[in-house]
Structure 1
Amino acid sequence: MIELRPLRQFVAVAEELHFGRAATRLHMTQPPLTQAIQGLEREFGALLFERTRRSVALTAAGLALLPQAQRLLADAELLAPLVRAAAEGRRGRLRLGFVSTVGYGEMPRWLRGFRAAQPDIELQLREATWDVQLQAFASGDMDAGFAIHAPGGVPPGFEVLRVSSEPMVLALSSDHPLAAQDDIPLQAALALPLVMYPREIAPSLFDAMLSFYSAHRVTPQIEQEAIQMQTIVNLVSAGMGAAWVPEAVMGLQRPGVSYKRLRGDVPLCETSLLWARNAAPTVQHFAAHVRAQLSK
């Protein structure tokens, strides 16, 4: 294996074509420089310089070595700042999970700003429900994730940054008689058949909705289940039932769907950024970026 110091000495002589000037450039005397070049020639098994009393010239072997040696030395100069940047979280990879509802809010702006501020961090995005994100966290395939949950419903073992809190709103087919009303009675809304997500993708929010119905002495009539909010809204437009969705989903304008805010103490949906407590510095940078955006 060739060490960098002899290569640096070779490049100095090759660029100066003068052992004396090269020694001065390297802050050393000429005899040890000459010995170093001779040692390098022995290691390669080839002469690198043609020497006379009046001149120094590169041989064919020296000419072949020079650009490669210059490239290696240039790359070596980049190693220290690269390692420091990685250690400080300014370079690396961030594998970020997110639920679809976050895409209707501020996440696109946060990502755009983060990429501009940290161009050397590679963002790998993965749309995934919370149950899938948990599996990815457990297997080491995810660094951070946006999840929806009921207030206080964050699972233990994570650092948490709450990014939004919003009421659930009712999505119903535009041709439903209630869609024409500005103020829908709560009991009428609770009587509607539902399109709902399975409990495993948002357990705390699912349980909060069931508790909401129970508090009003109503048993929810779940007609259809779907995982993605886009699918839930599409099923609502097809007349398969009504759905409770986070307020941010109102940004998903789908023909045949009306969104209604109801009066009263409707359940809240929170969105949080979660990451492991021993997360990489890149995650800390992203969390700090999002926190800064929230404070504006």
Structure 2
Amino acid sequence: MELRHLRYFVAVAEELHFNRAAERLHIAQPPLSQQIKQLEAELGVELFYRRTKRQVQLTEAGQVFLQATYRILAQVEQATSDTQRAGRGEVGTLAVGFTSTVVYDILPAILSQYREQFPNVHLVLQELTTTQQEEALQNHQIEVGFCHPPLKDNRLKLESILQESLVVALPETHPLVQETTISICSLANESFVLFPRHLGPGLYDQIVSFCQQANFSPKVVQEAVQLQTIIGLVSANMGVALVPASLQNLQRAGVVYKPLAGATPHVEVAIAWHLDNITPVLREFLLVVKRYIKERGH
């Protein structure tokens, strides 16, 4: 039994006339009659009884089969639609990893645009360090990550989407808050709050190298994994912190952000994904990200 047999049966059952059903199906009447006979032979029951040579009536078995056929064809149509939508990346699940830096700038805007365009995709968001994201991408626990290069695994595709400068976060009682800009040299004797290097070696090395270019190594008195925790420790007067400029959107009582004098290293944010794991949902998400970055650049 094939789907065409079911569609032929429905046409005859609705028209109750072989000629009209054949015209509706754009086929000749004799082949249609033959297909219905084959269907009845396969089922072992008569679906129609003849009132005239061309006009028919549904038998009781035919009425039961018609209702079942409607359900089958509806399910086939739904399955076809769902499959096509999945192929277009309109349904499914997407696991996204992100560092805390992107929460205060680009990630909310990107997710908002994506949700508007693909409301039926289930997003699973995981806040992870760059190192954790690399591992999660390798294990297919996430499909895409917002991270800070570099990554070790060359099987992962990286595309830069943002570069921003560093600023200094100071306790509001710090003498330097009176300055318009802060020289990196003036932080030589300060206590620093920083994240452990193994969680984000790229950004960590940029910060340490920046200090070393000013002839000092930062005196790290406290480590914290998340940037919002680092800012909380700054507000508690535990030290100062060098953070990406977008973190200024995280307003915290007791903390003042100040620009640094002169050029600073550019903190790079990139999207990363596994070259062997590009699903339709991921493909469409990457297009949304790239379109947003292009529009933002303008």
In structure 2, relative to structure 1, the CA distance for the partners of 1:63 and 1:239 (3 Å cut) is: farther
Q: Deviations over 1:32-84 (max 9, x none)?
A: 43343343334334443344338533344333332442343344356666655
How much does 1:262 deviate? 1.5
Counterpart mapping for 1:182-261 below 5 A = 182-261=180-259
2:46 matches 1:43: no
2:289 matches 1:290: yes
Residue in 1 that maps onto 2:140: 140
Residue in 1 that maps onto 2:269: 271
Conserved in 2, the CA contact under 8 Å of 1:161 and 1:291? no
How much does 1:184 deviate? 3.5
Residue in 2 that maps onto 1:161: 159
How much does 1:182 deviate? 3.2
Distance in 2, Cα, partners of 1:9 & 1:226: 69
How much does 1:165 deviate? 1.1
Q: Deviations over 1:197-247 (max 9, x none)?
A: 111221111112222222333232222221111121122222222221111
Distance in 2, Cα, partners of 1:182 & 1:27: 80
Tell me which moved more, 128-137 or 169-178.
169-178
| 2:148 counterpart SS class | strand
The residue type paired with residue 169 of structure 1 is: V
The residue type paired with residue 160 of structure 1 is: L
Tell me which moved more, 79-88 or 274-283.
79-88
Distance in 1, Cα, partners of 2:102 & 2:24: 58
Conserved in 1, the CA contact under 8 Å of 2:146 and 2:269? yes
Distance in 2, Cα, partners of 1:212 & 1:161: 24
Q: TM-score, normalised by structure 1?
A: 0.85
Conserved in 2, the CA contact under 8 Å of 1:161 and 1:287? no
Consecutive unaligned residues of structure 2, counting only runs of 5 or more, are none
The residue type paired with residue 215 of structure 1 is: Q
Distance in 1, Cα, partners of 2:3 & 2:39: 11
Tell me which moved more, 182-191 or 170-179.
182-191
Q: CA RMSD in A?
A: 2.8
What is the percentage of aligned positions where both structures have the same residue? 39
Distance in 2, Cα, partners of 1:45 & 1:231: 74
How much does 1:89 deviate? 4.6
The residue type paired with residue 112 of structure 1 is: S
Task: Give the total of aligned pairs.
Answer: 292
Q: TM-score, normalised by structure 2?
A: 0.84
| 1:254 counterpart SS class | coil
In structure 2, relative to structure 1, the CA distance for the partners of 1:65 and 1:255 (3 Å cut) is: farther
How much does 1:271 deviate? 0.8
Consecutive unaligned residues of structure 1, counting only runs of 5 or more, are none
Residue in 2 that maps onto 1:99: 99
Tell me which moved more, 90-99 or 261-270.
90-99
The residue type paired with residue 195 of structure 2 is: Y
In structure 2, relative to structure 1, the CA distance for the partners of 1:102 and 1:14 (3 Å cut) is: same
Distance in 2, Cα, partners of 1:219 & 1:166: 22
Conserved in 2, the CA contact under 8 Å of 1:49 and 1:59? yes
